Chain A
Amino acid sequence: MSRAVRILLTQRIALLALLIVVVVVTFFINDAGGYLTAPYDFDYMSASLISAVPLAMLGLAELLVILSGRGGIDLSVGAVVSLAGMVFGFTYGEWGWPLWPAILATAGFGALCGAVNGFLVSYIGFPALIATLATFYAYKSLAIVINDQQPISTKPIQELFSLSKSVELPLFGRYVPDVPLGIFTFLLPTVVAVWLLLARTTYGRRLYAIGTNDVAARWAGLPVKDTRFKAYVYAGLISGLVAVVTVGQFASARPDAGVSGNGMALPAITIAVLGGVAITGGIGRVAGVVLATLLIVWLNAGILLAFVGNEGSQYQLLALGAVLVFAALLNGLTNRRYGGTTS
């Protein structure tokens, strides 16, 4: 028994998996009892995954940046999504570029925005919080001013809405629910790419090394500045891809897409921390971020059905905050009792 508790407390992935099961079972029971406003079944869970696409991708962007250590964090991802989305709107929607060059240009522009962050943080030595706070303001402002506050929703952009449609899987698709297309076109490739980068390349090992102890990494001859710089570039690249997804979802390139309301950066950082990424750097895994996203998405989807009107979106805030504070306190506890979580 104590061994099971220990695994749950020290293995973040095990805890997240358990929490997902608890959440899903709870809503299934509520559904069976008729307490929900609409059925909470596999079809609904699958359809709700569309909101996991931007969330998980930005969570992975934060994973890369936070891993790089020295207080690494990126507050600007939401503003990059807004600004790169406008770039996509111009190239694809206004100037009539073909789809692929437009996507590449958008991702490249995101990477450029990330490179500005990385240059300030890694080569000049700005604290990451400050540098990305500054670029958050700058990108946000540019995104709104660049097209005079107007969204771009020309015909090609509107037709992109098909990205968020659900599709039937080949072969065994008849036996499982339809899955949103964005999962396959954007989320899975990003997850696999980031996992390969972190777990199967020299770069990944270097990133963990500089995040754990950058002085030791420098004495070991690692290119610390270059490695950290690239983490911000990759985060920007992913934000650029999220911009394409977001434009597709809204069927419009909105200048405030990534910063309206709470913005996209706060939820992304929350997901990363919930997924077991240590804010001090060097600790964190792709699987944790993905599981944390699933937990939040399915929890939010259930909450929407459990309340009438806009109360649901309010209780989502409560759930997100409570889960984050709970996870953080748990981290503190395990640090003292077991000497830390392993992922």
Chain B
Amino acid sequence: MTAVAEAKITKRVLPPPVTGQEFVLVGVIAVVWAALAVSTPAFMTAGSIQPLLVATAPIALVGVGMTIVIITGGIDVSVGGAIMVCSVLTAKALVGSEVGLGVAALLSVLAGGLLGLVNGVLIAYGRVHAIIITFGTANLFMFLGLRIFGSGTVNGIPGTLAFFGRGPDGRTLGVPHAFLITLIITAAAWWYLRHTAGGRHFFAIGGDAQAARLAGVRVQRRTLLAYVVTGLLVGLASCFVIAQGTSTLDQSVGSGKELAVIAAVVIGGTSIMGGRGSVLGTLLGALLVQSVASGVTQLGWRSQLSDLFVGVFIIVAVGADLLRARARRNR
């Protein structure tokens, strides 16, 4: 086999590095930013963009895992509950024993990984549809989180995690660390999903799990891995969530986050049917949602109005994708 032939095969198998949806999203974000820059002069300043990037980070980071899960044809609606468990656990550890940054982050990531493992085992080996299992574990995780909370809130969280926060400690050369880490992980996931056999296996499972199994993909192990990765990222994102907040953590933490993450993923062009998707799109989707939320507040509108735009964006983004799919079929 010559190198030329291999290169040809690679060319045929791989989709383009950046899909149409991502170009469209970059365009839409540019339009939104331009509109905001014109209407509110304060928008295009570091003081406005930096918090925007920090707020995007947790959604985009969990979105990376969610993208992989959805590519395999699954879904995880328990991430909101998992964020609650990880953040309250980490916050309590920070308050109680004054552990350092590394230990706290490790604790949170491991806890998240464990929760992901529970989901993964039940879905991969219980052979039940992911949405049902994760609806169930969402309740279980929330129970766990509330039990750790005890009654009321966690108060007096020290600034150990300021490295991930929105303050001056959380930035290098003006770029927030949380966003930088998200960017690096997204890039790594993009490369892994596109250029390694293991990454392509996720797409194969989402396309046709039975065919993938016959082609030698270890479907159950790969599926398990997707949920564990999501769990690990939930753990890291929980550290961002704590760092972004005040020194108090209340019981509403993580609530509704699962839908926000899924919204970012589908706006990013990942097909909910599985087999197609990109983490780059998810990052852009999360950025778009957060830009709109921030814009609505800065324009002085009701902050809840941004949800209306999220709904419209989902319809437009997925509708455009449907139209393109129809065009592909007719060609």
Binding site for B on A (CB under 8 A): 73, 75, 120, 124-127, 129-131, 133-142, 144-145, 148-149, 261-262, 266, 269-270, 273, 279-280, 309-310, 314-315, 317-318, 320-322, 324-325, 328-329, 331-332, 335-336
Check B262 against A137 for contact (C-beta < 8 Å).
no
Nearest first, the 4 closest Cβ-Cβ pairs linking A and B are A321-B139, A138-B311, A141-B307, A137-B311
In the assembled complex, the CB of B244 is this many whole angstroms from the nearest CB of chain A, namely 22
B305 proximity list for chain A (CB < 8 A): 141, 145
Contact among A75, A324, A336 for B136, CB-based, below 8 A:
A324
A124 proximity list for chain B (CB < 8 A): 319, 322
B154 proximity list for chain A (CB < 8 A): none
Check A321 against B140 for contact (C-beta < 8 Å).
yes
Check B126 against A321 for contact (C-beta < 8 Å).
no
Check B147 against A314 for contact (C-beta < 8 Å).
yes
B136 proximity list for chain A (CB < 8 A): 270, 320-322, 324-325, 328
Contact among A126, A320, A332 for B139, CB-based, below 8 A:
A320
**CA gap between A314 and B14 in the complex, in Å:** 48
A137 in contact with B140 given A279-B132, A328-B132 (CB within 8 Å): no
Check B128 against A141 for contact (C-beta < 8 Å).
no
User: Is the C-beta of B330 less than 8 angstroms from some C-beta in chain A?
Assistant: no
Please report whether the interface of chain A is mostly helix, strand, loop or mixed according to DSSP.
helix
Contact among B132, B139, B259, B304 for A141, CB-based, below 8 A:
B304
Please report whether the interface of chain B is mostly helix, strand, loop or mixed according to DSSP.
helix
List the A residue with the shortest CB-CB distance to B325.
A125
In the assembled complex, the CB of A297 is this many whole angstroms from the nearest CB of chain B, namely 16
Q: Please classify how large the interface on chain B is, using the bins under 10, 10 to 19, 20 to 34, 35 or more.
A: 35 or more
User: Is the C-beta of B115 less than 8 angstroms from some C-beta in chain A?
Assistant: no
Binding site for A on B (CB under 8 A): 75, 77, 122, 126-129, 131-133, 135-140, 142-143, 146-147, 151, 255, 259, 262-263, 266, 272-273, 302, 304-308, 310-312, 314-315, 318-319, 322
Check B138 against A126 for contact (C-beta < 8 Å).
no
Residue among A135, A140, A317 with the highest chain B CB neighbour number at 10 A: A317
List the A residue with the shortest CB-CB distance to B326.
A125
Check B151 against A126 for contact (C-beta < 8 Å).
no
**CA gap between A144 and B272 in the complex, in Å:** 29
Check B137 against A325 for contact (C-beta < 8 Å).
yes
B310 proximity list for chain A (CB < 8 A): 134, 137
Check B151 against A317 for contact (C-beta < 8 Å).
no
B142 proximity list for chain A (CB < 8 A): 262, 317, 321
**CA gap between A279 and B133 in the complex, in Å:** 12
**CA gap between A336 and B273 in the complex, in Å:** 24
B306 proximity list for chain A (CB < 8 A): 141
Check B146 against A317 for contact (C-beta < 8 Å).
yes
A329 in contact with B128 given A269-B135, A318-B143 (CB within 8 Å): yes
12 contacts between A and B (CB under 8 A): A125-B322, A138-B308, A138-B312, A140-B304, A141-B311, A149-B304, A273-B135, A279-B129, A314-B146, A317-B139, A321-B137, A328-B132
Check B143 against A314 for contact (C-beta < 8 Å).
yes
Check B139 against A318 for contact (C-beta < 8 Å).
yes
**CA gap between A270 and B128 in the complex, in Å:** 14
**CA gap between A331 and B128 in the complex, in Å:** 8
Check B135 against A130 for contact (C-beta < 8 Å).
no
Check B304 against A136 for contact (C-beta < 8 Å).
no
A324 proximity list for chain B (CB < 8 A): 132, 135-136, 139
B259 proximity list for chain A (CB < 8 A): 75, 133, 136-137
In the assembled complex, the CB of B323 is this many whole angstroms from the nearest CB of chain A, namely 10
In the assembled complex, the CB of A67 is this many whole angstroms from the nearest CB of chain B, namely 15
